[in-house]
Structure 1
Amino acid sequence: MKKLHWLFMMMCLAVLPALQSCDDLDSGYSIGDFSYPNWATIRVKGNAFYMESDTWGTLWPINTDMGWYQPVDGQRVVTVFNPIYDNYEGYDHAVKILRLEHALTKVVEPLTAENEEEYGNDPVLIYKGDLTVSGGYMNIVFMQNLPKDPDTKHRISLVQPAEATADAVSEDDGYLHLELRYNNYGDVSGRRAAGLVSFNLKEVLTPEMKGIKLKLNSEVNKEVEIVFEKQSSNAEEASNLDFSKMQLK
């Protein structure tokens, strides 16, 4: 299937005309410069917030029109921004946020015989390149088959078999073994919308591990295993889609 990443360029081109007419800044950046969509974590500081980008480091927003935004510490986001200054008051960059999309942010959960039915194992549609690991998180963009009931939310989970402790996994083959589980509760409409989720790996991925082996049930390829080597980094992209319709928990 076709990758979704061409949509990133569409978003970038959409903001370009309005920006290119401005003068260059003394810092070496132009108002017409903007980042690729990239993953970041929100960090609250007093009445303000900054972002820890997986690829750009710490980012201090200098927008004056974001009084509507209520930051939540630890929230994962996909953001596009205009870099303004480097090394700004202790932050790697000062930026003007152009777009900010919230991702469902979750942790790795234990999988047992007792709760396996709760997590389900329904197939998910993920395009190549839209499942990445960066910043200590597993980041996923997928096409959700929406539930018919607007009050229903499907469940997406990243689980670790309870018997597979960190030590046992490391002694076995050196990889952390995880499973992506999806439960649609038998309620699908055939209508698609983009889903965005990021799982915190920091409590389960230890320094001695080689990487991650992930099992998932793909709509296209059925049961598959994907290997992420420790040195793997995130692509500088995350899908430019409307995530406002996703129904997930």
Structure 2
Amino acid sequence: MRKLHWLFMAVCLAVMPVLQSCDDDEGYSIGDFTPPLWATVRVTGNAFYLDCDVWGTLWPVNTDLWWYEPVDGKRVITMFNPLSDEFDGYDHAVKILSLQDVLTKEVETLTPETEEEFGNDPVLIFEGDISISGGYMNIIFMQNLPSGTKHRISLVRPQDDAELYGEDGYIHLALRYNDYDDLTGLRKPGAVSYNLNSLNVTSETKGIKLKINLEKNGEVELTFDLVVTGDNTKNIQNLDLSEMQLK
């Protein structure tokens, strides 16, 4: 059965984000800027570009990004001023206004040996703060900060492929959280993005079912269909991840 690329989940987004100021008939204005958007860093030679989930490939024309150390495959939340379309083989040339790295991880395998390390402590996630785009599962949550030990947050799959790829047409995963019994009661935003490209998605795959232990609802199973509609950026406005402590 033909394997499909996870990127089609982002392509199915029905609404492109609206620029914060109006552009004229001839292109973009220097005052145009996007809301915060999910993107993936792609390193090419001594430079890098962004593969934005809803805008496509972005070539940064900034001369003031010397401070940024790009890592290929790293997920980021970015805002930018689009300057032109179809620039030198990229979808857009942009001036990056903000660039915030997000913890980026792979799907891991849950085994009897790793059960304790992955943990299953409750996590505070609000409705709408889990999305799938660009081949990644993006999760925003409120972390109860530790005093010294970084918490571990993991997206895990079962060992058995028969359990992973259920007869119901869904891929079965679980979000696991280990707070190591180190909690201060101080809440700050946390974020993580999981690369889903190791999963075998076929034309018969309906979506993902995610088991998760929520602080407010206990253990639940959430369903995410592959056909995504709407705007998945509304919950990352003014998001400051500088104080999260995760691994």
Q: Is the 8 A contact 1:159 1:179 kept in 2?
A: yes
Greater helix percent: which structure? 1
Alignment partner, residue 135 of structure 1:
134
Does the 8 Å contact 1:143/1:194 carry over to 2?
yes
Three-state SS of the structure 2 residue aligned to 1:117 is: helix
Say which of 217, 223, 227 aligns to 2:223.
227
Residue 203 of structure 1 corresponds to which residue in structure 2? Answer: 198
Aligned match for 1:194, one of 189, 195, 200: 189
Q: C-alpha displacement at 1:170, in angstroms?
A: 3.8
Cα 1:238–1:58 shift into 2, 3 Å: farther
1:245 corresponds to: 243
* Structure 1: gaps spanning 5 or more residues: 1-15
What is the 5 A alignment of 1:66-215?
66-149=65-148, 152-163=149-160, 165=161, 169-170=164-165, 172-207=167-202, 208-215=204-211
CA RMSD of aligned residues (A): 1.9
Q: What is the number of equivalent residue pairs in this alignment? A: 225
Alpha carbons 1:79, 1:101 under 8 Å: kept: yes
Kept in 1, the 8 Å contact 2:164–2:173? The answer is no
Deviation at 1:175, TM superposition (A): 0.4
- Give the percent of matched residue pairs that are identical in Structure 1 and Structure 2: 60
Q: Deviations over 1:84-143 (max 9, x none)?
A: 101111100111111111110000000011211110001111111111001110001111
Q: How far does the alpha carbon of each residue in 1:140-190 deviate from its partner, in whole angstroms, 9 at most, with x for none?
A: 1111000022xx200000001112x1x554451110000000000000000
Q: CA deviation at 1:236?
A: 2.9
**Residue 238 of structure 1: how far off its partner (Å):** 4.5
Structure 2 unmatched ranges of 5 or more: 1-19
Distance 1:244 1:93 in 2: 28
Question: Could you say if the C-alpha distance between residues 90 and 42 of structure 1 is closer, same or farther in structure 2, counting changes exceeding 3 Å?
Answer: same
Task: Report deviation, 1:80.
Answer: 0.8
Q: TM-score scaled to structure 2, two decimals?
A: 0.86
TM (normalized to structure 1)?
Answer: 0.85
Residue 30 of structure 2: aligned partner: 31
- d(CA) in 2 for partners of 1:90 and 1:27? 20
CA-to-partner distance for each residue in 1:187-235, whole Å, 9 max, x for gaps?
0000011111000001114123110000101111111111110112561
The letter of the residue matching 1:137 is Y
* Alignment CA distance shift 1:170-1:184 (3 Å): closer
Greater mean alpha carbon deviation, residues 153-162 or residues 170-179: 170-179
